Chains A and B, each alone.
Chain A
């Protein structure tokens, strides 16, 4: 079974631009969560989608948005990029949305904002 696939692997953008990151979950997984990882803050929850509906949202500004498609694939978008948005963005999928469901993470998209 293929794992969680995130594209692109690396991305360089400049301040003010927008970016879209893509995540393909493991086949059969219906829940997709997004996390931001920075050296100083660790893993911070962005949002969770289940059956195309946003279930939870973390404490991030409205510039961060996401969506999930009917095939469970998910995208996240960051508009008006700031230097502080430079981070590793991780997507994780799970069969269901319960906390006892293991999260399977992709390798992430490393975003650098110049």
Chain B
């Protein structure tokens, strides 16, 4: 049973426009969420996180929105740049957990066209 779902395997966006990557979760115990970005031939790198006490967290061009009632979070990238082309993984856990409790989605491949 997939507890963290990224239903769009891929997304293509024009440079300068907004990229919206979506993630759904099923476990209501999850209260801490993260996004990681992965370039080919490299390991994932941490991008941004949000805890359930917030509904929005912003870091430069990246904003994560959390809708607890819908068990849904989204990552907005504004404006999108070609260097943002990568695979984005959503991950979830409960805040008191350890790294082993982190559940990743299958990823969404973002392509930003110049």
Instruction: Decide if A99 touches B94 in the complex (CB within 8 Å).
Output: yes
Q: A48-B99, A58-B100, A101-B99 are in contact. Are A41 and B42 (CB under 8 A)?
A: no
Q: Which residue of the partner chain A has the closest CB to B9?
A: A39
Query: Which label, helix, strand, loop or mixed, suits the secondary structure of the A interface?
Result: strand
Q: Are A48 and B100 in contact (CB under 8 A)?
A: yes
The answer to whether B104 and A43 touch across the interface, beta carbons within 8 angstroms, is yes
Given A90-B43, A99-B93, A105-B44, are A57 and B100 neighbors across the interface (CB < 8 Å)? yes
Find the A residue at minimum CB distance from B97: A99
Known A42-B89, A42-B106, A100-B95: A107·B41 in contact at CB below 8 Å: yes
Whether A92 sits at the interface, judged by CB under 8 Å, is yes
Q: Smallest CB–CB gap between B39 and chain A, Å? A: 10
Using a CB–CB cutoff of 8 Å, the interface residues on chain A facing chain B are 4, 31, 33, 35, 40-45, 47-48, 50, 55-58, 90, 92, 94, 97-108
Nearest 8 A-B pairs (CB), nearest first? A56-B100, A105-B43, A42-B106, A43-B104, A48-B100, A97-B98, A102-B46, A99-B97
